[in-house]
Amino acid sequence: MVFNRLRGWGTFFCNIGLTLGAGLASWSVVFAETAGDGLVKPVDIVHYGRFGAVGDGVTDDIEAIVKAHEFANQHGLPVKAEEGKSYNIGGRNKTAVIQTDTDWGTAKFIVDDTAVENSRASIFAVRSSLKSFKLEGLTSLKRNQSKIEVSLPDTCLISVADSNVKHYIRYGLNQNKGGPKNDIFIADKDGRVDMEAPIIWDFDQITSITAQPMDKQLLTISGGIFTTKANAAEANYNYYSRGITINRSNVVVDGLEHHVTGEGEHGAPYGGFISVSSCANVTLQNSTLTGRKTYRTIGSAGKPVSMGSYDISLNRALNVSIVNCRQTNDINDRRYWGIMGSNFCKNILLDNCTFSRFDAHQGVANATLRNSTFGHMGINAIGSGTFTVENCTLYGRSLINLRSDYGSTWQGQVIIRNSVFVPSCGEPANAALFSGFYSGQHDFGYTCYMPERIVIDTLRIDDASHSQGYQGPAIFSNFNSNFKDDSYKERYPYVKTKEVHVKNVTIASGKPLRVSDNPFMFKDVKVVAAERGL
């Protein structure tokens, strides 16, 4: 028996064949569309136009786009945007969920943020169809624990928290009371932890723990030329999320462009046009993003602050690679905020990128930056493991800034190879390789460390333009000007660097490389020079 049924979504219809036998039913479903010659052909790709998208750059097409992806997800079909179309995305509270391969090609998408119903609603959300679940039986965890005593249906992403312990108790103009201790890691079905992204905290107790099965099949999103008409909301911390969120593991975004127009005298910040969270193994490649204009507001300490605004945001994500990506605006233009931010991540790679900034906000475990250029906001990081900078050019105020609002902490080692440091974009400055601040009087919720071991192998410091009285570049800036003798007492002691290995450092000013403007604070640091160095 064969039924032909017209669908409400246009010229598609479904041919359903039903065969009964031996008390069992078998179904075959073939999706088809009517061609211009009246003939019927199979449908293997979903187009937005079949669901009513006009693509004239004026008509709001979000409803049709949402329906197209709903259909594609239900039937496991890829989605392809029509070439030459320009899809307008208005301010309605609608999100298109992507669960199948999507090819936007050269199609354009205009995201109008001038009047929105929900600033926190993303336009596209890449989600897994696999359901997370609470994990029972675990009451504690140890740092670098290699196995958890649970049985899992398959490899899972494990998220754990202890709400009784506060971490990242922020210091400074955006001070806060911190958040629950948390961690995220991968375990296979036998509970073996992926030690490339190890557990980084001890958990004496656990108040919540969930497991998210990881998709094995790679999902690919390609192409797309997006333009955001920026919001003109009041300048406060009402973050806009009108972009693409990725919450599914094993995803590649390839060849996307994002532009921004209409930024005025004030506006609310953006949390990231590309936002990756609670997943693993995500690659953003061959793409062009845009730095956001910097606006100011009043921070939690009651004083004016600049608001961070991002085009790329990574949160609780593992194994994220950003490869061969650029930004549309000048990386040294101080009108624009740093293009990316991250929190609670592990194993971030940036390769062949040109960005105004790299930032590990509330910590990263292991990061590698190579073959890349970083602009006026430089490299900002706290975290643990190994931080590697290789074949890079850096224009920040310091080579690496250890964020003072979270304790200027890095528990591990830092490796700098074959790189060039141009302090403060070449403007007169007192150059320092590592900057930060630590008073020893604030409780961040954890012990704070300087990198235990620093390796600098082949570095050019282009400090020919420098301030008056400049004595030469310092390895460490003055992390605490009050800590100048033994009378100063740290309530929360800072664990200082043990060794700095220096090799092949050339300095344009001809002045010597020094330890610090605060020699007392760093008096116990052992500096080992080989060939050209100190």
The pLDDT tens digits of the residues spanning 21-44 come to 333 222 223 355 544 444 344 569
Read off the tokens for 376.
């006026």
Region 434-450 average pLDDT? 98
Answering whether pTM is above 0.85, one says yes
- pLDDT, tens digit, 9 for 90 and up, residues 458-515: 999 999 988 888 999 999 999 999 999 999 999 999 999 999 999 999 999 999 999 9
Predicted confidence at residue 468, as pLDDT, reads 85
Q: Which of 411, 346, 419, 344 is nearest to 379 (CA)?
A: 419
Compute the distance between CA of residue 467 and CA of residue 19 in angstroms, rounded to an integer.
85
Q: Which amino acid is at 415?
A: I
The backbone region for 85, taken as left when phi is positive above 0, alpha when psi lies in -120 to 50, beta otherwise, is beta
Residue 318 has pLDDT above 80, yes or no: yes
Residue 291: pLDDT band (50, 70, 90) is: very high
The DSSP bridge pattern shows strands 24-34 and 40-42 to be: antiparallel
Q: Which of 299, 229, 302 is nearest to 267 (CA)?
A: 229
Per cent of the chain over pLDDT 70 is: 91
Region 5-16 average pLDDT? 36
- Domains of the chain plus CATH, in order, are 1-43 (no CATH), 133-213 (no CATH), 219-530 (2.160.20)
The beta-carbon contacts of 300-309 under 8 Å, at least 24 apart in sequence, are: 300/173, 300/174, 300/175, 300/176, 301/172, 301/173, 301/174, 301/175, 303/173, 305/173, 305/174, 306/337, 307/235, 307/237, 307/269, 307/337, 308/269, 308/337, 308/338, 308/341, 309/269, 309/270, 309/337
- pLDDT, tens digit, 9 for 90 and up, residues 66-82: 999 999 999 999 999 99
Residue 13: pLDDT band (50, 70, 90) is: very low
* 325 alpha carbon, distance to own chain's centre: 13
Q: Which of 218, 275, 284 is nearest to 254 (CA)?
A: 284
Residue 409 has pLDDT above 70, yes or no: yes
Residue 431 has pLDDT above 80, yes or no: yes
Residue 147 pairs in a beta bridge with 192
> Burial of 479 by CB count in 10 Å (0-12 exposed, 13-18 middle, 19+ buried)?
buried
Predicted confidence at residue 466, as pLDDT, reads 84
Region 271-287 average pLDDT? 98
Residue 20 has pLDDT above 60, yes or no: no
- Whether 14 contacts 77, CB under 8 Å: no
What does the mean pLDDT of the chain come to? 91
Predicted confidence at residue 34, as pLDDT, reads 47
Residue 10 has pLDDT above 50, yes or no: no
Residue 49: pLDDT band (50, 70, 90) is: very high
Token pair 């190579």 is at which residue?
Answer: 370
End-to-end CA distance of the chain, in Å? 87
Residue 530: pLDDT band (50, 70, 90) is: confident
Predicted confidence at residue 173, as pLDDT, reads 92
- Whether 396 contacts 356, CB under 8 Å: no
Read off the tokens for 68.
């197209």
Compute the distance between CA of residue 513 and CA of residue 488 in angstroms, rounded to an integer.
27
